[in-house]
Structure 1
Amino acid sequence: MSSYIFKLIFICFLMLFYNYSLANYNDAIDNYNNQKWHKAKKLCTYELDDFKCINLLGVIYLNGLGVEADYSKAKIYFLKAKKLGSKSAEFNLGWMALKGLGEKINLDSASKYFNNYNLKDALVKKNKNELKNITKDNLVKLKKNNLISKYGYFYTNYIKLEILFKSKINIEKKIVPNISEIENKLKLFDTVLIKNNADILAIRENILKEQEIFIKLLIIDIDQDLDKFKKTITDVYVILQNYEINNI
């Protein structure tokens, strides 16, 4: 009986600790979404065993939100969060390698992180019978051709362009009047990945989830500044327009 009581007390303690950590993380996210970067950072600093909080600290330093941007610190946080099991950290590390943030551009490294990120999600969904089995041969093929990392780069920029294109400012000013050429490129890119047995919907869903906060911040930053809006939407459009899908 005493052993049972001890285990019960221990389980209750763990549940209280988990609820406390979850409350801190939720408070940190609320402050983050309300642009209270310092409060979010302070709350997560106390939760260095919570990979969600550690990943959020990495995002804060990566983007210089309330602090000076520091790619080295961001990477340290992402690596620690990854070690604790964060899928988001895998994506962020891939993004840093892809964009050359604090390091040289490394497509092999980016591809590795993106593959790990998508593999973890695929395995979870596979257990729920929501995703077709991804074979080792397909993952090797995707890694060899860097398709996941390249698609991640293209689709991330496409998301930005689509939102900016449909925004009130662009509708009124017609800065970019048409994106059909870019949409056709995306369809072509989708076809390439499908031929390599990649699950487009799963990949898109993951990218959308990861980019949601970044895109909100982008819109907040440029919404009231026409010159900045023009430069941003034009830059993104040119990136996608010049992207050679046929050569991937």
Structure 2
Amino acid sequence: MNDQDLLRYSRHILLDEIGIEGQEKILASHALIIGAGGLGSAAAPYLVAAGVQQITLVDHDTVDLTNLQRQIMHQDQSVGTAKVLSGKGMLEKLNPTVKVNAIQEKADKALLDQLIPQATVVLDCTDNFTTRQLINAICVKHHKPLVSGSAIKFDGQVSVFDHRHSDAPCYACAFPPEQSFDEVQCSTMGVFSPLVGIIGAIQAAQALQVIMGIGEPLAGRLLMWDARATEVHEMKVAKRHNCSVCSTKN
């Protein structure tokens, strides 16, 4: 770290749990953020501000006027622009020392198989079960920690699936792909704008904890936030011995 880094990140370094050693881990890390919408708009700026060395944003979509109610990485002049390019511009202004990669492609198997092995931590900021299951399966394959978030209406969820450990549950343990779940999206159900900020910020905090190896991340726990009632609930997530994704029997 140079003198500018010591000054920029001094409020982190003052924390006993982080210090210079923890900040150096952040500065050497690479976060893959899949989804540059509501959750990604909240998670990415905090990771960039914290000094994550490299951020890769993946999203095939463009900015729509309806996004601006909650997706704070984008502005009026971004409408019609690729979300990853809009986000890249904002993030580079926030912290010019961080490398931001913008990939305007769908998160399919081929792309994820290429990107996930390069990441220190993966943040799932997408909005559909099919993509979440695919991200999870490839994180399991490459033993990469996954921070998963979701937000719809007034309800948000966050969990960490730390695939560096063989006994860790995966996303499919909590939400088995063979079971049917109602596919709900903001475009049809609506979403309370601060909710995506809360959940995305928690994802960023969890990712930093995973990177530094501090605190007690939400590994094996699903945090549920009810923004309407202002209540937080937590559910244990155990590894399923018959999981179709992470079980050693499969």
Shorter-chain TM-score range: under 0.3
Q: Which has the higher contact order (CA 8 A, sep 6+)?
A: 2
Q: Larger % of helix: which?
A: 1
Greater strand fraction, Structure 1 or Structure 2: 2
Structure with larger Rg:
1
Q: TM-score scaled to structure 2, two decimals?
A: 0.27
